[in-house]
């Protein structure tokens, strides 16, 4: 059988990565133990789930752990590993580079090396680093480099700062992860990052968190920036003619949303209504989650209305992104 599906949410946990994290006392991700992983395990999973190509990335906690030198070393190790895997299994894997983002200048240099020299396909970022969300101006050197390269950025949640309801005992992967993605995106919307760097193509993990549901409300952030008044005529057009925060919504809708752990009629219906079938890509969250067969069957059952729409979500939108022809911000 000829498979075309592209999996945009596919993680690696190679042995060297786990050993380096364990050396500083880190043994879990979002409250769950790291799963075993090898390229061969991915290929077996891909065969069972009709996946032609998996875009590899490092999940939380990423590489910004330990000191600055540790983060730079771990990022380079991960990126060279993904590049080798991409070369050895030609055509089966792509890669989103890990970056030492707590050091924005070093992260920009690593992004240039990973995209230019190693030939990776984009970069992976977490929702925040040490509690500093991506809209902060200190990340501007990194975003300038990524915008210059028209890069694809895979945005993944990480643990929130502080502790939320510790007595509940709920892993952050279940509840906090989708809110982290929402926090990161709305922060970038509020600070203008998404407008200042329009040539970056963002892919949001887990269907964009809660954005498909609260997108209309979140888009109001565009009109409430501290110390900045939006153009009066544009605001009048948005609310009197379009009956909503149209400018903010269009900024959010130009992003891409993956299907990892998004299922059921309510969630899939909201995702399709908000993003549109042209801005949704397939995601499995392997090896942390093994529900790709359920998610895939539910895509056909609850969201896509035709084979043409399914092809868009399955692989065509992904091909568009990876070929550098993503839709620019108007």
pLDDT value of position 224: 76
Task: Say how many C-beta atoms besides its own lie within 10 A of residue 313's C-beta.
Answer: 28
Note the pLDDT tens digit of each residue in 28-63: 887 778 999 999 999 999 999 999 999 999 999 999
DSSP string, 193-214: HHHH-TT-EEEEGGGGTTHHHH
pLDDT value of position 330: 27
Note the pLDDT tens digit of each residue in 140-185: 999 999 999 999 999 999 988 876 666 777 777 777 889 999 999 9
Note the pLDDT tens digit of each residue in 268-311: 999 999 999 999 999 999 999 878 788 888 888 888 889 999 99
Within its chain, how far is the Cα of 296 from the centroid? 19
Note the pLDDT tens digit of each residue in 182-232: 999 999 999 999 999 999 999 999 999 999 999 999 998 888 776 677 777
Domain ranges of the chain: 5-209+255-322
Topology (CATH) of 5-209+255-322? TIM Barrel (3.20.20)
Structure tokens at 180: 């982290």
Note the pLDDT tens digit of each residue in 76-130: 999 999 999 999 999 999 999 999 999 999 999 999 999 999 999 999 999 999 9
pLDDT value of position 106: 98
The reported pTM is 0.92
Note the pLDDT tens digit of each residue in 230-255: 777 778 878 878 888 889 999 999 99
pLDDT value of position 215: 93
Structure tokens at 147: 């915008």
**Residue 325: exposed, middle, or buried by beta-carbon count in 10 A (0-12, 13-18, 19+)?**
exposed
């Amino acid at each position: 059988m000829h498979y075309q599906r592209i999996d945009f949410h596919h993680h690696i946990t190679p042995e060297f990565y786990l050993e380096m994290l364990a050396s500083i006392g880190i043994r879990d991700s979002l409250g769950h133990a790291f799963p075993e992983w090898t390229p061969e395990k991915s290929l077996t999973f891909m065969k069972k789930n009709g996946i032609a190509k998996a875009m590899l990335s490092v999940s939380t906690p990423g590489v910004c752990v330990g000191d600055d030198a540790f983060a730079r070393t771990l990022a380079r190790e991960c990126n060279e590993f993904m590049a080798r895997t991409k070369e050895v299994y030609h055509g089966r894997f792509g890669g989103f580079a890990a970056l030492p983002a707590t050091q924005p200048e070093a992260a920009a240099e690593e992004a240039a090396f990973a995209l230019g020299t190693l030939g990776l396909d984009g970069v992976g970022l977490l929702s925040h680093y040490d509690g500093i969300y991506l809209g902060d101006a200190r990340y501007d050197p990194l975003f300038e480099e990524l915008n210059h390269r028209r890069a694809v950025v895979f945005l993944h949640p990480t643990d929130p700062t502080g502790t939320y309801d510790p007595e509940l005992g709920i892993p952050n992967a279940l509840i906090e992860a989708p809110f982290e993605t929402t926090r990161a995106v709305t922060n970038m919307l509020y600070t203008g990052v998404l407008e200042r760097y329009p040539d970056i193509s963002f892919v949001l993990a887990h269907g964009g968190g809660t954005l498909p549901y609260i997108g209309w409300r979140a888009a109001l952030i565009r009109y409430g920036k501290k110390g900045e008044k939006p153009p009066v005529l544009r605001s009048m057009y948005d609310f009197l003619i379009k009956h909503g925060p149209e400018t903010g919504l269009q900024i959010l809708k130009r992003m891409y949303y993956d299907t990892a752990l998004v299922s059921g009629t309510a969630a899939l219906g909201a995702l399709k209504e908000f993003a549109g079938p042209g801005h949704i890509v397939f995601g499995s969250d392997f090896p942390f989650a093994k529900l790709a067969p359920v998610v895939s069957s539910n895509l056909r059952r609850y969201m896509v209305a035709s084979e043409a729409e399914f092809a868009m979500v399955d692989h065509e939108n992904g091909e568009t992104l990876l070929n550098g022809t993503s839709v620019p911000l108007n």
